[in-house]
Structure 1
């Protein structure tokens, strides 16, 4: 090699005039020299001594064999360029270094320049075609000037690859962050490959199961908390509950202060399994944090429209449907009936096997905006085992009592409901119906007396 100093080229690369000349970036380019001839290491360092590229000096690392080079490449991710001999401990040791680096180690960025004194062991055209390398030179032709050119070109390529990697990582991070505001499941439902393809007014119509979840009594709880404590409590609770929804193919459409709306496009069974899991998770949450928090869940299945609303400057995905309103009203009824989960008859019939769930009818309700009454059910599988067993044992009497109450047979309803409460004193829905039936009887008797 000829160690003569080449001319500087552009602003990217200069040779330092003094050993202590300032550089713009303290990080150095790491160059790995791999050769079993120590003289090659010495001459290479001499030829490139004092070189700076893009404001950074070169730092050299040496390996005397392919095996040693592989170990360095396994442990160091900062190597930018490898000046690599082909024939060392074996005829193709250098090629093996490339194969392991690109394959097993999975490093696509580091650049390789092959230098060989025996080109017959690795024909140039074949190597350039089959291996991801920047250059291939025989040791005889690699003068100081050519070495300079090769190193600069390789480092520039490495810099571009790393910049592209950083852009890709930022793009992936941005896409991941956007999914926190616009779930990827929405993109699939709207048949869009990415969020940039979503347009205002995109929409689909299909049957889904809708779930409303609400924390009981949070308004009263929040009066004793600071704003920061309120946010910590809600976020801690949601951290326990929300993953359960996603694990069962649900989509959290929006958060509603101390509750949320979730969609289940795959099946009604997904929604009921989540409702059960959420109630059970609350037991663990209360035990872990010493709380006594309860949630109410309303579930309904129906046709809805999912799409984007807003204007050109601000839009969001949402659902528009009577099914959404009805599920919210069912959740509100959980307070009236002291139930953990209330579902509509439509949801029960939409399951693969309605008999697989422990439910009991709690009658029919008239919902504002609906002419026909809605049959609703309590998912008693969500109760504790003891309460669930007692409700199952009295289910027939309870159903008959509710039917009597709704047909005006209040005396018979009172008798049946008292029998239910004798066997299951904690049945709050039975207690409610008993009070209503007794009030109806007293009101009728009062009208007769008057």
Structure 2
């Protein structure tokens, strides 16, 4: 083909950007069965730059070869396809293969033909998913440069949109991970993990929160807490003073808190999160370069989700903590009415949790038993003082009345639909049932007794025997263990008895931590 026909230099070569090269070349497939076309295309585009990046031309001399190139490379920005190669519609077949077989919607496809009548432009544009159709005589040097700019700009923008889509998917996934973290400590670790994922980093990070609303991080007391730390920041995990964090980070935190916004620096990012209730938290992440515009957008979206989640977790923790305190206070009130120490309910709670975990229950189940077990004797509020406070042994009638406390407790707590109180009702009603069926109030036996009732029964008796009561002195540990072993399979679940024996050192430490 005549060079002048292919690239007539009607207006001179257009000037291209001389920007500094900032990335890998744009990869362009040239598919044509005429070697001169490849030679001239390379010559004309030799100095071409777009967005500071060169063009890498990949040659294919047949439709079959072009399909192989496309199948092996998913980063082809543009495909210049001759319509007629080894067959009359080879280029059209390649276009169909790219879109339909490879499902590639990103590569910009430009068909070139020296025989316009072979494949009429209107029909081709309507039938095939291509981006432009050119007669080879149209492609002067200037117009080829214009085509390259327009087509690569289109490809770049599509890639940016796809990057945003993928980034938003990451934000959604990251947010889901944070939302499902459940506990504040797990939430904090999830925040660090997902932020570094969003930025594609494996770097140092520090996540802190104010201990009081509205500016506690920069008041005179410098009170704050580190929620999570990674990398070089792990050494700051136990820091409880604002003044003890590195000066660079402290200054960044102060600026972010003063300006009430996130900040971006050359090699680190300071995230600022606040909520309607006034709580504030700060995030430091070390980077290898200034975050891109997309990084900033994703971080701001993510930061909003983090702030909302953090606030919800704080509210939930506050409710749970209030609930725990109320349960302990109620349990302690019952124990004090029985002339017993309030520390008993705390010890029973901790021992019950330990037994539950060693038994194989999940941490959530064990935690629920710990929270509900202090309510085991709540039914005693319905027992008359004359019976409840009697220092000696109860007679038959008094003992009958005393036994009713189990059912009274179950009835009181059973009216609630809350998990803790529902389990508390089970524990209150079953902690005096016995493994052999001789207990009360319902004579349940073996596995018919709820595991929470079996666990609390053992923890309650173990701790009660080791404590002073109005009717007895505390027993020595050896005597307690002897009795409990004798009652394995009678009063107590034998598997739980063995767990208690095997973990007696840990259980003893619990008793020492919460003395009478």
TM-score tier, shorter chain, comes to 0.3 to 0.5
When the two structures are superposed, what TM-score results if normalisation uses the length of structure 2?
0.42
When the two structures are superposed, what TM-score results if normalisation uses the length of structure 1?
0.47
Larger RCO, structures 1/2 (Cα 8 Å, 6+ apart): 1
